[in-house]
Chain A
Amino acid sequence: MIEPLEGLGLAGLGAVVFLDQWPAVQAMVSRPLVVGSLAGLLLGAPADGALWGAVFEVAFLAIQPVGAARYPDAGLAALAGTTVALVGLREVSRAGGEPVYPAVLAVAVALGAGALGEWAGGWHRRRNGVTAARVQSQVAVGDLGAPGRAVLIALARGALIGAVVTLLSLIGGLAGLALAQDVGAGLLSAAGLRLPAVVVAAVVGVRLFLRGPSSRLAWVGGAAGGAALAWLGSA
């Protein structure tokens, strides 16, 4: 279903995604929109990857990584879900069928990967607590290299967690894909995928941003503009 090099690339991407979410840099490479596009590039289908990245972006839009809040791992979820969707499309196309994604399975796999990532992230934070306590005792006896070593160890552990969670999610997701291929349910084309995604985007967007009269005015303007652009695009 996927080549070993593709699997390796996806695991490496998983490591980067896990680190970017909170341990390092936070350049937003871990956002589903970006992760989907990168996974698409790795699997030779950037346009499909971008589409799935957008679908997962709107689904995970309301999550805010605030303090010790617990939330599904959106980046790893998008990586696993997009991969399953794109590999499913590739398998169907190879068999000469209609170009459809295993849409329901892809989102279900993303949910599982997100939960696994959330658990792994919590474990990593608890391990970091042990590391931080050790750093305090080492610095107390004059070891000034301890904080730097702790940072490196924590980053390496985070990268490993990201890669392992990605590989486990992909193994589960691709096994599910192999089992589901004969069922033929939950399939959608790109056109069919767009509508559910935009419905989620519209509702989540309203809940996040509609506060006060000026935002309502902006919303009305956006609605007119969005309808006009979509109409022009489809005409």
Chain B
Amino acid sequence: MTASGSAAAPRRFSRAGERRRIAFRALGVQAVWNYDTLQAVGFAWSLLPGLERIYPDRAERAGRVLAHLDLINANPYLSTLGLGVALRLEQEVARDPAIAGPRQARLLKALNGPLGALGDELFWGAWRPALGLTAALFALATMSVWPALIFLVAFNGLAQSVRFGGVRAGFAGGAGIARVLRDPFWRRATGRARTLGAVAAGAAFGAGLVWAGTAAGDLGWRDADGAWAWASAAAFALSVFLLVLGARGGRGERPLVPVLALLVLLAACSALVQAGGGG
């Protein structure tokens, strides 16, 4: 069975109800995440509503579920794209298992990398930290729960749309899913999120300068004197320097450096306040 041969029939098979059931199950695609097969159990479980239709025979269906229990990896929001592709190819496998079976296995294996990297880059590397930083700055400035709420709505607006639209897109793409993954949307969305993050990082710097000036007066640091105050100020400066050296973007390198720096900064600030007699 060729890709063009399979393109004639499959669309009518993927009904909206079935797609929804698969997408809802995909909310738990990482439930049994483990170091050996990663998301495989959740993936196979999510695919079951489609397999029930394609393989009415129980033994045959069990064989196909088993084929999906090997190793599956994807960013959780993009896993539905893989599910859609798998569903489309399962229909080919049902017609010609000898040729389409190995082809499907090869394709899903090849998809592991792009579905992981693309989603990680967009959601974990750009969208979430950019929105998180922006919302955190507003929360620091306003002491309100609204930034958290807006963060939730904005993040899920994109992430859950991608997740719930994924089964349909993956099914429509089938073996040609690379076209969906090469769509400029992913690069544009990542770029815009990074720009938002850069603006927020700049805003943190600008607001920090102003707040440092007001804090010096409000907290009594200008009146602070003595060796203890100088030592606290030096600790503050040193921890900022170490933070600059140690904090890394990217794949979770040195994840504790910012937290440890925060701890030292708080201790230094608290000591400065006590030395200055402020509140």
Q: Which residues of A are at the interface with B, using a C-beta cutoff of 8 A? A: 22-29, 31, 33-34, 36-37, 40-41, 46-51, 53-55, 57-72, 98, 100, 103-104, 107-108, 110-111, 114, 125-126, 128-129, 131-133, 135-136, 139-140, 142-144, 147-148, 150-151, 154-155, 158, 185-211, 214-216, 218-231, 233-234
Question: With a CB–CB cut-off of 8 A, which chain A residues contact B259?
Answer: 59-60, 72, 107, 110-111, 114
Any A CB within 8 A of the CB of B179: no
* Stretch of B80-88, B94-102, B122-130, B167-175 at the chain-chain interface: B122-130
B36 in contact with A144 (CB, 8 Å): no
Q: How many A-B residue pairs have CB under 8 A?
A: 396
What is the chain B residue whose CB lies nearest that of A201? B204
Interface-central residue, B33, B116, B248, B267, by most chain A CB under 10 Å = B33
A234's partner among B30, B159, B210, B253 (CB-CB below 8 A) is: B210
Question: With a CB–CB cut-off of 8 A, which chain B residues contact A60?
Answer: 255, 258-259
* Stretch of B9-17, B61-69, B103-111 at the chain-chain interface: B61-69
| Known contacts A104-B266, A133-B36; A55/B45 CB under 8 A | no
Of the A-B pairs whose beta carbons lie under 8 Å apart in the complex, a sample of 19, sorted by A's number, is A31-B132, A34-B148, A50-B147, A54-B136, A57-B139, A59-B258, A61-B258, A62-B247, A63-B252, A103-B266, A132-B34, A136-B69, A139-B62, A140-B66, A192-B273, A196-B269, A205-B198, A209-B129, A224-B202
| Known contacts A151-B41, A195-B211; A226/B140 CB under 8 A | no
A189 to B133, CA, bound (A): 22
Interface of B is mostly: helix
Q: Which 6 A-B pairs have the closest CB atoms?
A: A205-B201, A222-B202, A226-B203, A226-B206, A227-B206, A209-B197
A28 to B37, CA, bound (A): 25
The range of chain B's interface size is 35 or more
Question: With a CB–CB cut-off of 8 A, which chain A residues contact B197?
Answer: 205, 208-209
A203 in contact with B148 (CB, 8 Å): no
A132 in contact with B219 (CB, 8 Å): no
B32's partner among A25, A114, A132 (CB-CB below 8 A) is: A132
B32 in contact with A128 (CB, 8 Å): yes
Distance in angstroms from A16 CB to nearest chain B CB is 13
Q: A50-B139, A111-B259, A150-B45 are in contact. List 19 more A-B contacts (CB 8 A).
A: A50-B144, A64-B120, A65-B124, A70-B252, A132-B37, A144-B62, A186-B266, A193-B269, A194-B215, A195-B215, A197-B136, A201-B201, A203-B244, A210-B201, A222-B198, A224-B202, A226-B204, A226-B206, A227-B207
